Amino acid sequence: MELEGQWWRGQLAADIHQALRYKELKLPSYKGQSPQLSLRRYFADLIAIVSNRFTLCPSARHLAVYLLDLFMDRYDISIQQLHLVALSCLLLASKFEEKEDSVPKLEQLNSLGCMTNMNLVLTKQNLLHMELLLLETFQWNLCLPTAAHFIEYYLSEAVHETDLHDGWPMICLEKTKLYMAKYADYFLEVSLQGESLWMPESDL
């Protein structure tokens, strides 16, 4: 679902936002019933670390964690297999969200410290098999909007020249925008750590 850079500034921004909202309303339900739920934080952090290592975009990282949550919700998976699942989720998400040359390669993943420490080696066959299983699980639909897909659009609309601070005009509009973007990014990353944040409001 690669979008043009700064799509939220274009003439089609409202239409794209509406399409994302439509997709969001049809997201698969998350029940938080995985037998390995206690391990979820570790693997979400693993995805975040590997994503940062390869400088993947936030939407790829968030989509990968969402795929992991949904997949864990449906299957009882061994710890060793969870490494394969988590990295396969990241690969699929990066293939969907990034340009081809930004997608991590097999040898790069195998050279990661977490893999050598766990004495794990990914193979092309295992990755392809897991990716196929993931795609079949999600019915080949990876257009699953997360908060990361919306944040830039909302930030672009969040601050205006007419806004006031303590009843006075803002001194520096750009500084305020940077401040908001910084904290939005922070809370966006924190949101990856709690699986309950995916649950519908009615379930909380």
Q: What is the pLDDT of residues 160-177, one digit of tens each?
A: 777 767 777 777 778 878
Q: 11, 4 in Cβ contact below 8 A?
A: no
Whether residue 11 is predicted with pLDDT greater than 60 in this model: the reply is yes
Q: 68, 85 in Cβ contact below 8 A?
A: yes
CA 114 – CA 119 distance, rounded (Å): 9
If you average pLDDT over each of 141-145, 165-169, 177-181, which comes out highest? 141-145
Amino acid 151: pLDDT? 87
Mean pLDDT, residues 70-91: 91
Average pLDDT of the chain to the nearest whole number: 84
H helix or E strand, kind and range, residue 53? helix 40-53
Identify the band that residue 14 occupies on the pLDDT scale cut at 50, 70 and 90.
Answer: confident
Tokens of 89: 């989720």
Identify the band that residue 195 occupies on the pLDDT scale cut at 50, 70 and 90.
Answer: low
Identify the band that residue 50 occupies on the pLDDT scale cut at 50, 70 and 90.
Answer: very high
Amino acid 176: pLDDT? 79
H helix or E strand, kind and range, residue 24? helix 13-24
Percent pLDDT > 70 in the chain is 89
Identify the band that residue 178 occupies on the pLDDT scale cut at 50, 70 and 90.
Answer: confident
Amino acid 144: pLDDT? 93
Whether residue 37 is predicted with pLDDT greater than 90 in this model: the reply is no
* Cβ neighbours, 10 Å, residue 154: 13
The CATH homologous superfamily for domain 7-203 is Cyclin-like (1.10.472.10)
- The reported pTM is 0.82
Domain ranges of the chain: 7-203
Q: Which amino acid is at 45?
A: D
Tokens of 191: 């949101």
Tokens of 42: 């570790």
Question: What is the residue whose two structure tokens read 């936002």?
Answer: 17
Whether residue 120 is predicted with pLDDT greater than 50 in this model: the reply is yes
Amino acid 7: pLDDT? 62
Alpha helices in 55-195 (DSSP H): 58-74, 79-97, 106-110, 113-117, 124-137, 147-158, 173-190
If you average pLDDT over each of 14-18, 48-52, 158-162, which comes out highest? 48-52
Mean pLDDT, residues 41-58: 92
Tokens of 122: 């990914």
Whether residue 46 is predicted with pLDDT greater than 60 in this model: the reply is yes
